[in-house]
């Protein structure tokens, strides 16, 4: 499978190898091979290198997007043309991805997913004729990326549960996510997460045991990420289907279009962003009556966390927002039973409306929700966080505020912007700003902004509360 040479480089052992890709890219035309080769030689190379290194360091606990690149400064990846396909050449790759000179198969598959998605989005998506300047076109683009990744499964009853939550959670919270995943696995439900550690790994780990007990095979542990996140949240080793969407908005739409229900575990600003994205869609008048089970859950120690989230959502968006979610504390079987019940309603609704089980075409997602938000200082200052706006529009701008904080915390571009120009300014209605500031401060105190044990968190934002 590969010809590897090992090298000790400082404290980081590295391996150079030429590997045959598995899990995809096995039958390619000459034109496709040429495109893959071109990706290594073009401006895409830096993106390919960064995402590949994230996969090769799966299991890393760092959320600094620059730390891994600094640890392996001489790492490189090239896609080589062969008579019967391609080879992937790795130079000074992390040795942890190899066993006795052979690359771990799961990492090989994830590496193939990196090459596949980056090349498809950059060179082939435009050839489908998709109009990326319209809401329908952007949804079609999300569909095309997922179809190309062979993630969409027809002729399968709804059974995909999306799990959101933080990468930096307590041991008790992590164990709880495993317990919920176990209960979902016993009920033959597949798992989709953001693919990283913490609440993204726990449900998958628990589900593997539930699936094994039920002697269930062909299980799906889907990880959906994007280039700005993957470097800070390397895929966990349980992921067996990885998809890299081109930006956070398409990543969020992929979750909502594919998932038949969503469970939210404790998290930080990234989790709050996800919650507001989904609630903004569900609050849109065109989606009234569309069933979409949404459950907030955690161990008893996390009850206060969800009380804070619930208070903030009600204050900002009105008490009626609570009709779209339920909170279940410290009861994994109840969570799983509620999700099964909710998915059954989804199935019946899809049958009645003749919508596909594998992709939710009927859900209306406004163009404003799909448009990539680049969190510059000016863009963050321009957010319209005012209660006189329609609920779904207010939710969209609140989502963008949290997205900017995520960028300032962990995305390389955002970190550089904060270093150069200082914190982002967030302004809006005074009562919402006070509630937002209180919620963010709670995240900091609970170590939900950075992994515990690191340097003291310095906020990348400034909330105008007066």
Residue 143 falls inside a structural domain: no
**Does the global pTM surpass 0.75?**
yes
Residues of the domain holding 341: 151-367
3-state secondary structure of 396: helix
pLDDT of 27 strictly over 80: no
Q: pLDDT, tens digit, for every residue of 245-300?
A: 999 999 999 999 999 999 999 999 999 999 999 999 999 999 999 999 999 999 99
Identify the band that residue 355 occupies on the pLDDT scale cut at 50, 70 and 90.
very high
Calpha distance 222→203 (Å, rounded): 11
Total Cβ atoms within 10 A of residue 455:
6
pLDDT of 451 strictly over 60: no
Residues 217 and 358 placed together within one structural domain of the fold: yes
Q: pLDDT, tens digit, for every residue of 181-193?
A: 999 999 999 999 9
Residues 363 and 391 placed together within one structural domain of the fold: no
Percent of the chain with pLDDT over 70: 89
Residues 453 and 354 placed together within one structural domain of the fold: no
Close Cβ partners of 375 (under 8 Å, ≥ 6 residues apart): 400, 403, 404, 407, 408, 414, 417, 424
Residues 171 and 285 placed together within one structural domain of the fold: yes
Instruction: Classify burial at 141, counting beta carbons within 10 Å of its beta carbon; exposed 0-12, middle 13-18, buried 19 or more.
Output: buried
The number of distinct structural domains making up the chain is 3
Calpha distance 429→315 (Å, rounded): 11
Residue 226 falls inside a structural domain: yes
Q: Are 56 and 97 in contact (CB under 8 A)?
A: yes
Identify the band that residue 25 occupies on the pLDDT scale cut at 50, 70 and 90.
low
Token pair recorded at residue 434: 């006070």
Residues 90 and 161 placed together within one structural domain of the fold: no
**Mean pLDDT computed over 212-219:** 95
Percent of the chain with pLDDT over 90: 70
Residue 277 falls inside a structural domain: yes
What CA dihedral angle connects 440, 414, 280 and 340, to 10 degrees? -80
- Of the two residues 208 and 5, the one the predictor is more confident about is 208
Residue 34 falls inside a structural domain: yes
For position 35, what pLDDT does the model report?
A: 62
For position 26, what pLDDT does the model report?
A: 58
Residue 330 falls inside a structural domain: yes
Close Cβ partners of 122 (under 8 Å, ≥ 6 residues apart): 39, 44
Identify the band that residue 9 occupies on the pLDDT scale cut at 50, 70 and 90.
very low
Residue 138 falls inside a structural domain: no
Q: Are 364 and 286 in contact (CB under 8 A)?
A: yes
pLDDT of 446 strictly over 80: yes
Token pair recorded at residue 400: 């963008």
For position 390, what pLDDT does the model report?
A: 94
Token pair recorded at residue 256: 């909502």
For position 62, what pLDDT does the model report?
A: 57
pLDDT of 8 strictly over 50: no
- Of the two residues 160 and 227, the one the predictor is more confident about is 160
Residues 23 and 50 placed together within one structural domain of the fold: yes
Calpha distance 293→274 (Å, rounded): 15
256, 286, 285, 308: which is closest to 391 by C-alpha?
Answer: 285
pLDDT of 311 strictly over 50: yes
Residue 135 falls inside a structural domain: no
CATH at 351: 3.40.50.450
Domain's final residue, options 367, 394, 429:
367
Residues 417 and 437 placed together within one structural domain of the fold: yes
**Mean pLDDT computed over 110-139:** 86
403, 103, 151: which is closest to 252 by C-alpha?
Answer: 403
For position 133, what pLDDT does the model report?
A: 87
Close Cβ partners of 227 (under 8 Å, ≥ 6 residues apart): 47, 50, 51, 118, 244, 246
226, 154, 241, 232: which is closest to 192 by C-alpha?
Answer: 241
3-state secondary structure of 98: strand
Q: pLDDT, tens digit, for every residue of 318-338?
A: 999 999 999 999 999 999 999
Residues 188 and 111 placed together within one structural domain of the fold: no
**Mean pLDDT computed over 92-116:** 92
Token pair recorded at residue 59: 């299991």
Q: pLDDT, tens digit, for every residue of 46-79?
A: 888 889 999 998 866 555 656 777 889 999 998 8
Task: Write the Ramachandran bin of 82: left for phi over 0, alpha for psi from -120 to 50, otherwise beta.
Answer: beta
Calpha distance 267→64 (Å, rounded): 18
Residue 142 falls inside a structural domain: no
Residues 163 and 240 placed together within one structural domain of the fold: yes
Residues 6 and 104 placed together within one structural domain of the fold: yes
Beta strands in 131-220 (DSSP E): 160-164, 190-193
Domain's final residue, options 367, 399, 418:
367
85 strand-pairing partners: 82
- Of the two residues 32 and 144, the one the predictor is more confident about is 144
Helices of type H across 318-390: 332-353, 367-370, 377-381
2 strand-pairing partners: 19
Q: What is the overall mean pLDDT for the chain?
A: 89
Q: Are 346 and 363 in contact (CB under 8 A)?
A: no
CATH at 9: 3.30.1850.10
Residues 281 and 169 placed together within one structural domain of the fold: yes
pLDDT of 453 strictly over 60: no
Q: pLDDT, tens digit, for every residue of 372-422?
A: 999 999 999 999 999 999 999 999 999 999 999 999 988 878 889 999 999
Domain's final residue, options 344, 367, 390:
367
Residues 120 and 193 placed together within one structural domain of the fold: no
pLDDT of 2 strictly over 60: no
């Amino acid at each position: 499978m590969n010809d590897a040479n090992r090298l000790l480089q400082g404290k980081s052992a590295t391996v150079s190898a030429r590997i045959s890709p598995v899990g995809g890219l096995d039958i390619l035309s000459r034109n496709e091979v040429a495109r893959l080769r071109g990706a290594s030689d073009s401006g895409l190379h830096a993106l390919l290198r960064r995402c590949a290194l994230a996969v090769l360091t799966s299991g890393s606990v760092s959320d600094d997007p620059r730390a891994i690149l600094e640890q392996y400064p001489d790492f490189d990846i090239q896609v080589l043309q062969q008579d019967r396909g391609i080879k992937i050449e790795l130079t000074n790759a992390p040795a942890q991805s190899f066993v006795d000179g052979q690359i771990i198969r799961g990492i090989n598959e994830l590496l193939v997913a990196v090459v596949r998605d980056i090349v498809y989005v950059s060179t082939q998506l435009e050839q489908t004729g998709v109009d990326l300047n319209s809401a329908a076109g952007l949804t079609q683009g999300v569909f095309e990326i997922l179809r190309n990744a062979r993630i969409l499964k027809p002729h399968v009853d709804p059974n995909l549960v999306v799990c959101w939550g933080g990468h930096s959670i307590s041991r008790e919270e992590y164990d709880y996510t495993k317990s919920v995943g176990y209960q979902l696995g016993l009920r033959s439900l597949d798992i989709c997460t953001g693919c990283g550690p913490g609440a993204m790994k726990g449900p998958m780990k628990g589900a593997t045991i539930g699936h094994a007990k039920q002697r269930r095979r062909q299980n799906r542990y889907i990880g959906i990420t994007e280039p700005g996140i993957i470097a800070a949240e390397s895929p966990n080793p349980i992921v067996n289907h990885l998809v890299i969407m081109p930006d956070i908005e398409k990543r969020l739409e992929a979750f909502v279009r594919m998932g038949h229900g969503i469970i939210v575990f404790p998290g930080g600003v990234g989790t709050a962003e996800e919650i507001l994205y989904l609630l903004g869609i569900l609050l849109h008048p065109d989606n009234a009556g569309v069933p979409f089970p949404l459950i907030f859950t955690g161990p008893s120690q996390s009850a206060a966390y969800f009380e804070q989230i619930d208070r903030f959502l009600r204050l900002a968006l009105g008490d009626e927002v609570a009709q779209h979610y339920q909170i279940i504390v410290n009861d994994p079987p109840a969570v799983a039973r509620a999700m099964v019940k909710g998915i059954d309603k989804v199935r019946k609704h899809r049958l009645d409306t003749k919508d596909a089980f594998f992709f939710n075409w009927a859900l209306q997602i406004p163009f404003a929700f799909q448009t990539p938000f680049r969190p510059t200082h000016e863009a963050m200052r321009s957010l319209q966080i005012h209660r006189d706006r329609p609920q779904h529009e207010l939710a969209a701008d609140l989502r963008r505020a949290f997205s900017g904080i995520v960028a300032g915390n962990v995305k390389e571009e955002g970190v550089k912007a904060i270093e150069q120009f200082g914190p982002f300014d967030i302004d809006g209605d005074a009562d919402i700003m006070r509630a937002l500031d209180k919620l963010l401060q709670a995240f900091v105190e609970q170590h939900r902004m950075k992994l515990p044990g690191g340097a003291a968190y310095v906020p990348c934002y400034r909330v105008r509360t007066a």
